């Protein structure tokens, strides 16, 4: 089997596609779960275990990671689209994007998961 | 060639007769920039300013007393659904080649986007906290 090796550009394309599909899946779930507010507090509050249970809280951090990557990579794509000269520097742009991702993701992940370590009420 | 549906009689690519793809391309960029701000804002508000421990029915009811939050959510949900489904359309186009399956996938896609838009906008516009105010 021959494998196309497209370097960081292909990795970015693949991650953009995977995170996009993952975010769309969550969006569909989220639209349906929020729809249930129309059934009143009793039903809706029971459903919220979807957001507060431990596995889901870790999932929310992954969701944030997916949104953040898709957002930063989308900005990179738009910059290259409208400023074609940047195509030559697309690898540098990609690593800048990775840097921005790490800088933004780590503090947010700590803030999101922090309440779990101290035991929440 | 399995991609026969995309080829003209002489084997060349069929030139599209509408500007739909160009509009879709522009829409992805414009909605993308708006969504970067709105979705990251939404996540920061819900998970950092508040937290999933504090969000419940009352929280949503109180938040939706302010029509500005309904407008924020309405714009975000419409743009996100259209952006997401257009992305899915691109993905399906890439991997589904047989004309019959393409037609089926497209039909499912348009039905899906319609249903999700109806449910999403209905919730935001029709949700009435007062309906439970007396019974609580």
ipTM of the complex: 0.89
Residue B67 Cα, gap to closest chain A Cα (Å)? 17
For residue B4, the model assigns a pLDDT of 47
Question: Would you tell me which CATH number, out of the four given (1.20.1300.10, 1.10.10.10, 3.40.710.10, 1.20.200.10), belongs to the domain B17-128?
Answer: 1.20.1300.10
User: What whole-number percentage of chain B has pLDDT above 90?
Assistant: 74
Residues paired with residue B40 on neighbouring β-strands, in sequence order? none
Chain B partners within 8 Å of A54 (Cβ)? none
For residue B81, the model assigns a pLDDT of 98
Statement: residue B8 has pLDDT above 60? yes
Residue B100 Cα, gap to closest chain A Cα (Å)? 23
Q: Are A101 and A51 in contact (CB under 8 A)?
A: no
Chain A partners within 8 Å of B126 (Cβ)? 38
Pairwise CB contact (< 8 Å): A37 & B123: yes
- CA of B58: which chain A residue's CA is closest? A41
| Local structure of residue B66 (DSSP, 8 states) | S
Statement: residue B94 has pLDDT above 90? yes
Statement: residue A121 has pLDDT above 50? no
* H helical segments located in chain B: 20-44, 57-63, 67-95, 99-126
Per 3-state DSSP, chain A is made up of helix, strand and coil in percentages (nearest 5) of 90, 0, 10
**What's the whole-number mean pLDDT along residues B44-51?**
91
* H helical segments located in A36-89: 41-47, 49-52, 54-82
Phi, psi of B13, deg, nearest 5:
-65, 140
Give domain limits for chain B.
17-128
Structure tokens at A59: 């999932």
For residue B3, the model assigns a pLDDT of 47
pLDDT in tens, A25-78: 999 999 999 999 999 998 899 988 888 888 999 999 999 999 999 999 999 999
Beta-carbon-side half-sphere exposure of residue A101 (alpha carbons within 13 Å):
21
Statement: residue B113 has pLDDT above 70? yes
Which of B32, B55, B120 has the CB atom closest to A31's CB atom? B120
For residue B5, the model assigns a pLDDT of 53
Statement: residue B1 has pLDDT above 70? no
Chain B partners within 8 Å of A105 (Cβ)? none
Q: CA–CA separation, B80 vs B121, rounded Å?
A: 12
Q: Which domains does chain A have, with CATH numbers?
A: 7-117 (1.20.1300)
For residue B11, the model assigns a pLDDT of 72
Q: How far is CA B62 from CA A115, B55, B67, B69, B70, in A?
A: 24, 11, 11, 10, 11
Pairwise CB contact (< 8 Å): B56 & A60: no
Structure tokens at B120: 């999403």
Q: Are A78 and A70 in contact (CB under 8 A)?
A: no
Statement: residue A4 has pLDDT above 90? no
Q: How far is CA B104 from CA A117, B6, B13, B18, B99, in A?
A: 48, 16, 22, 21, 9
Q: Are B55 and A1 in contact (CB under 8 A)?
A: no
Q: CA–CA separation, B48 vs A112, rounded Å?
A: 7
Pairwise CB contact (< 8 Å): A67 & B39: yes
Statement: residue A90 has pLDDT above 90? no
Q: What is the pTM of this model?
A: 0.89
């Amino acid at each position: 089997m021959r494998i196309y090796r497209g370097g960081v550009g292909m990795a970015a394309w693949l991650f953009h596609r995977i995170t996009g599909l993952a975010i769309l899946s969550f969006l569909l779930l989220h639209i349906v779960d929020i729809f249930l507010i129309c059934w009143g507090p009793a039903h809706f509050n029971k459903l919220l275990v979807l957001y507060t249970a431990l596995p889901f809280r870790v999932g929310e951090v992954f969701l944030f990671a997916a949104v953040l990557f898709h957002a930063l990579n989308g900005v990179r794509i738009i910059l290259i689209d409208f400023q074609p000269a940047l195509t030559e520097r697309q690898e540098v742009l990609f690593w800048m994007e990775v840097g921005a991702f790490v800088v933004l993701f780590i503090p947010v992940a700590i803030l999101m998961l922090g309440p779990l370590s101290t035991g929440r009420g | 060639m399995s991609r026969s549906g995309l080829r003209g009689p002489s084997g060349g690519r069929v030139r599209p007769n509408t500007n739909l793809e160009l509009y879709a391309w522009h829409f992805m960029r414009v909605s993308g920039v708006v969504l970067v701000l709105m979705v990251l804002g939404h996540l920061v508000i819900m998970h950092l300013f508040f937290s999933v421990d504090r969000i419940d029915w009352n929280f949503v009811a109180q938040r939706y007393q302010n029509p500005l939050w309904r407008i924020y959510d309405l714009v975000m949900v419409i743009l996100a659904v259209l952006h997401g489904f257009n992305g899915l359309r691109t993905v399906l186009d890439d991997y589904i080649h047989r004309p019959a399956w393409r037609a089926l996938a497209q039909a499912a896609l348009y039905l899906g986007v319609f249903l999700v838009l109806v449910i999403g906008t209905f919730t935001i516009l029709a949700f009435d906290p007062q309906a439970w105010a007396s019974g609580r």
